[in-house]
Structure 1
């Protein structure tokens, strides 16, 4: 009897022990799940904290710039975008791999459960079997914990990634709507200026009609991908808004052509047709009422509408032939036409005038230049414009670029109608920085060479301005302008400092990079085109010997078609040069050195 009691007691104890063991296992599983969840939450928190710290640092750095800077106006800033995008892509890659891992686990759970449920006809069949009933209970407890944890982790991870990317974009000066509009206007301008083949451009190939604008061995430049129908519609609308009605029609016709072939269907033909018809109607109306070209608009010489094109006035119209107009006042339309043609590589000067230009070596008796004489290439005798080849080394050019990069901000230009204020506009697409002579020992060496080339004083602030480093952006340009600024007879409108130092008597511009295509410097009234070559410097006089501005030095920077353009300008002021550049005996006398 006592033996049976002891045996029963042992069985009860064993049963209790098993129950306690099961309970402990469940508690351990719950504790493990809680621990894993806690680790997940901690990791997400650390992830968010770490990247918020990074973004805060970026934001604080940018806040020092006082305002958001656009991106499209500098290739340097566009390069930063590439690095930023790689950071985002790396994070998204990690997030995608993590999400796929969790989704694979969840899918395995779903597939397994469906397989088990699929072998039974009804719920009654499933719960009738004790093992199946146990497995059902386990699936919805222990197994479900894993699924729930995976969903929770992915949700937290997704929230963290979304938050970080949003903060990173805000703090890293990612492009916004105005950048996209600026990029679109640049592409439209490049196509019009260089007469790019529209079919090739649609496929991502830059193929200028005139090969003289290409500064390298390449005939054309192929991109990674082409333009979608949606892109072409967007660009066509920008061409329309800029008054380039004939180009708007080309872009929109290209959109129709691409839309008909697209497999992903970024735009429907029915969405493009109204814009194309509107462009055609406006094109023909402007041509009928205002003619084929004017300030702010341009059309084809003949209407698109076949009925209008058969009009007698278009059949009798003599083709518009361009007439060069050099060394005299030009209207805004004439200057623009000369500027664009020179940028395209057309020759506007008589061959006899160009035949008088020479290349020569010059040392002026200087010990420094005897060892390393100036390599002068004459580009124009009046106004006097020369290229000094190998003005600095390629290594020095690279150093100047690196000095300028951290300080770049959007370039401005003088707007006389706005009270002589410096303004930002589409007339100057670039960013610039200012470097003082004493900031780096390299600048002292370069300034010494500036003085040797020009024969002028350039070290002191009253003698010359700081170095301006400029980087041109997507389709970067600067429309025709003069470097001399003090043209108003009423000198009281200028600052006291400007009156003290005088006007810009001369310009020395150093090309810091080679440019693949486009990006030249042209003088519309003088018919001169300068092609950028790394390390070379252009020099010209802005004032004659009477300190009167020479309007024939009006010049512009051509749009960069392909490549990266950096330049450095040194503007020399006039008042301290009275011994170095004395007045002439005749009011029209001009400087002729180097």
Structure 2
């Protein structure tokens, strides 16, 4: 602490002492009159000592924050892309720049740091700060990964993904923040899991990162909401042992006891599956209900995302790979490698159909225009942001670069379709837990889709512009099919049958990205101009490619 700040403090204190209501007059004229100054000086010394201790503690706190930020930033700066490919690292970065940074600002603003805080605030238009919504989104993404890939809460908190150490461990405070975000979303299942982990970590921490009563407050109520009444009462009793006059806990305790009496259950303090809170809190002994998925095939969707083999072996055994030329002169020199992924409906993967240079150019063109990816409203066809789809995207027109035009022509040559009625190239990048829940690309009955006067989306072409370390598959739940991203390849399928009706089996989804960064680009091709390129078959279910 500087001498100037001490003088400022002394000046403020002396100003109080010379106020008329407490003025002492000629204190120097008599020793008796000066005795009161000894008490004054004692009070000043006590307050000054307290002030210095508080400032030293404040500086100690700030040095701790600085050391943590420096360590994290050094690790991230080595290879930012690789660092952020880990969902835990990405979440912690957002947390450090939202809730954690608010703690730093609060400590700084207690004194002269307020000027620095003001300066930082003025630069928020230049510096990129995540919002509270970003923190919420990052937390929800981790829950999504946890559920989809059946990640153990403790392992995830220790930085382990699928048996491999990816990052540093989460503190009790980090776990508490994840639980709090779940609670705010009305998700008591994940609140219990993460508050329980926070409680277990709290007991082992030498430097506490969160107050125990804060953990118990959320854990008790969410345990109750998940149907574990006796355990909720035990946790509430423990909370009241720490904070006897906790108003909410007192009210909840009475409510829980009343419900137990109505059920004819005799509650005895100190009994139950987690009665001894000096032992690790075990969520396996609780009745926990995971939130339901958004579609009927949600369980199949998650299994496919995890790489579980669900396709009938006879169907899988009938699939073939081959070279095709499409009567395009260039393809006679370098045929296209085609892999069948499904026969009914016909879904194929073309390999090595976009170069690294083209991919790099497309990414470079798309990134400055990135916005949060949207979905179409069923009723109006208007596009809106939704948790249904977590990614950023932009659109590239053919005239923006020769590579974009070449890609468009190549898709037309391979598919044999007229690209005049295809939408612009959409480029997407999936972030922390980025996904797109099961959906259809075509407009079903009752849905409105912007068709540009071109009719429904007859087909989908999907480029994979990056490899993905873990997760990120394209899955078709009704076909038990998973397509795994491979840089340079592309998936293609018809959304509509030859008779123009939508094919229900083309429902598909983009699985959450567990580790890595997933880049894709796609073309949606419409019905108009395809009448002679993809004519109706003799049978309603005729397939051609």
TM-score normalised to structure 1 length: 0.61
CA distance in 1, matches of 2:208, 2:505: 52
Corresponding position: 1:220 with 2:164:
yes
- 2:72 is aligned to none
CA distance in 2, matches of 1:187, 1:515: 17
In the alignment, structure 1 segments of 5+ residues that lack a partner are 1-71, 97-153, 209-218, 287-304, 310-319, 321-330
Corresponding position: 1:358 with 2:301:
no
- How many positions carry a matched residue from both structures? 391
Verify the 8 A CA contact 2:351 2:490 in the aligned structure 1: yes
> How far off is 1:433 after superposition?
0.4
Corresponding position: 1:367 with 2:303:
no
What pairs up with 1:51-450 in 2 under 5 angstroms? 162-205=117-160, 207-208=161-162, 220-223=164-167, 225-240=168-183, 245-284=188-227, 333-417=295-379, 419-450=380-411
CA distance in 2, matches of 1:439, 1:274: 56
> How far off is 1:74 after superposition?
13
Verify the 8 A CA contact 2:182 2:190 in the aligned structure 1: yes
> How far off is 1:271 after superposition?
2.2
- 1:453 is aligned to 414
Q: 1:365 to 1:169 in 2, by over 3 A?
A: same
CA distance in 1, matches of 2:192, 2:465: 38
Q: Which whole-Å deviations, capped at 9, do the CAs of 1:105-155 have from their partners, x for residues lacking one? A: xxxxxxxxxxxxxxxxxxxxxxxxxxxxxxxxxxxxxxxxxxxxxxxxx98
Moved more, 344-353 or 503-512: 344-353
Verify the 8 A CA contact 1:514 1:533 in the aligned structure 2: yes
Q: Which whole-Å deviations, capped at 9, do the CAs of 1:478-511 have from their partners, x for residues lacking one? A: 101111125338xxx666xx26211111111101
Q: Which whole-Å deviations, capped at 9, do the CAs of 1:13-33 have from their partners, x for residues lacking one? A: xxxxxxxxxxxxxxxxxxxxx
CA distance in 2, matches of 1:499, 1:464: 10
TM-score normalised to structure 2 length: 0.66
Q: 1:517 to 1:177 in 2, by over 3 A?
A: same
> How far off is 1:235 after superposition?
1.5
- 1:589 is aligned to 542
Q: 1:387 to 1:161 in 2, by over 3 A?
A: same
SS of the equivalent of 2:388 reads coil
Q: 1:455 to 1:188 in 2, by over 3 A?
A: same
CA distance in 2, matches of 1:573, 1:509: 15
Verify the 8 A CA contact 1:486 1:503 in the aligned structure 2: no
Q: 1:398 to 1:74 in 2, by over 3 A?
A: farther
Indicate the structure (1 or 2) with the bigger Cα radius of gyration.
1
Q: 1:516 to 1:544 in 2, by over 3 A?
A: same
> How far off is 1:246 after superposition?
4.1
CA distance in 1, matches of 2:222, 2:187: 10
Aligned Cα RMSD in Å?
Answer: 3.3
CA distance in 1, matches of 2:125, 2:377: 32
CA distance in 1, matches of 2:490, 2:177: 39
Counterpart of 1:544 (choices 497, 511, 518) is 497
SS of the equivalent of 1:375 reads strand
Q: 1:275 to 1:180 in 2, by over 3 A?
A: same
CA distance in 2, matches of 1:470, 1:588: 32
CA distance in 1, matches of 2:165, 2:532: 51
> How far off is 1:543 after superposition?
0.6
SS of the equivalent of 1:479 reads strand
In the alignment, structure 2 segments of 5+ residues that lack a partner are 1-83, 230-266, 275-288
Verify the 8 A CA contact 2:85 2:515 in the aligned structure 1: no
SS of the equivalent of 1:575 reads coil
Q: 1:267 to 1:499 in 2, by over 3 A?
A: closer
> How far off is 1:201 after superposition?
1.4
Verify the 8 A CA contact 1:520 1:530 in the aligned structure 2: yes
> How far off is 1:240 after superposition?
4.5
Verify the 8 A CA contact 1:518 1:562 in the aligned structure 2: yes
Structure with greater contact order relative to length (CA < 8 Å, sep ≥ 6):
1
Higher helix proportion (structure 1 or 2): 1
